[in-house]
Amino acid sequence: MAALKDISDVEDIKLMVDTFYDKVRKDDLLGPIFNDKLQDRWPMHLQKMYGFWQTILFDVRAYSGTPFPPHKQLPVDKTHFDRWVFLFNSSIDGLFAGPVTEEAKMRAENMAYMFNHKIDYFRNLENQ
CATH classification of the domain holding 105: 1.10.490.10
Is 27 part of a structural domain of the chain? Answer: yes
Summarised one tens digit per residue, pLDDT across range 103-113 is 999 999 999 99
Is 3 part of a structural domain of the chain? Answer: no
Q: How far apart are CA 13 and CA 21, in angstroms?
A: 12
Domain containing 118 equals 10-126
pTM strictly above 0.75: yes
Summarised one tens digit per residue, pLDDT across range 32-52 is 999 999 999 999 999 999 999
Q: How far apart are CA 72 and CA 116, in angstroms?
A: 9
How high does pLDDT run on average in the chain?
Answer: 91
DSSP-assigned letter for residue 68: S
Res 31: pLDDT: 96
Is 69 part of a structural domain of the chain? Answer: yes
Is 5 part of a structural domain of the chain? Answer: no
Is 4 part of a structural domain of the chain? Answer: no
Number of domains in the chain: 1
